[in-house]
Amino acid sequence: MGVGGKVMDIQTVLSDLKLNGKVIPVVGGDVNQTYRIKTEHRAYFLKIHPNVKKGFFEAEVDGLKELSAFVRVPDTYMLGETSEGAYLLMEWIEPGKGDQRDLAAALANLHQQTAPQFGFRKDNYLGTLVQKNSFEEDWWTFFFKDRLESQISLAEETNRWNVQRQEKYLRFKERVLKSVEPKKITPRLLHGDLWSGNVFFDQQGHPVFVDPAVSYGNREQDIAMSQLFGGFRPEFLDAYQTIFPLEKGWKDRLPIYQLYYLLAHLNMFGESYGSQVDQLLENF
């Protein structure tokens, strides 16, 4: 179901695509209406979202293209919009079983890709929220401005941020900047929304990455998201550490990056995430 409960008419989208086939709803996501479309010759994956322009999905396609040279992602075929919203037609990849160690190897390969600066060539989306991506030389400048404080601004607009939270945040920011070592951090290619629902295995056991929020950043951010909501087996992180060991103290820094995702959940889903935000701000 689309955000806010509105549902787009899938028949309008299929007509726009000139596509006929059996329509099977796919469950599991919180952002888009999703369907498997089985035609005479092949199956497709269709995502539709109400009340947005096609730029919403153009950002996703751009992110998938950025990842595609290094990890397995679905092919994208067509995107467009109707009077109700936007849609994206993609390759249907039949899920299978795989080894979390192969997933770790794929992620490590992704993180080996570097850039001169933090950020990305354009803003994109984390879920339904705009993700800012201005270029910065300094990681902490980028992270606080384009990640945490952009989400705080959204929370202020919807009265989900108050004076008490702002005071906690400023103390949190001060503690972070005092605790991190003044060493150079390399901008690395990130998936950006690495929870367990955004990775799976195909029938050949290859890891598949979907729904990215791509940027070049600190790879600890991807690791932090992978550990926030569960779903990854212990051997995933063990294998990643063997292939591409994280910097000393990485476990202590994970809550810094997890705050970004908790703020985004506060903005998308409401005050049910407020207590987790408060606890993290107070306890780091």
Residues annotated as part of the active site: 193
Distance CA 27, CA 11 (A): 19
Burial class (CB in 10 A: 0-12, 13-18, 19+), 170: exposed
Tokens at residue 28, please?
A: 């599991």
Residue with tokens 């050949």: 204
Compute the C-alpha angle 173/179/181, nearest 5°. Answer: 120
Tokens at residue 8, please?
A: 């787009």
Distance CA 165, CA 195 (A): 26
Q: Which residues contact 154 (CB under 8 A, 6 or more apart)?
A: 129, 267
Q: List C-alpha distances in Å: 157 to 6, 59, 148, 209, 267.
A: 22, 24, 15, 32, 10
**Count of other CB atoms within 10 angstroms of residue 199:** 24
Per DSSP, the residues of 64-119 read HHHHHTTSB---EEEEEE-SSEEEEEEE---EE---HHHHHHHHHHHHT-B-SSBB
**Coil/strand/helix, residue 228:** helix
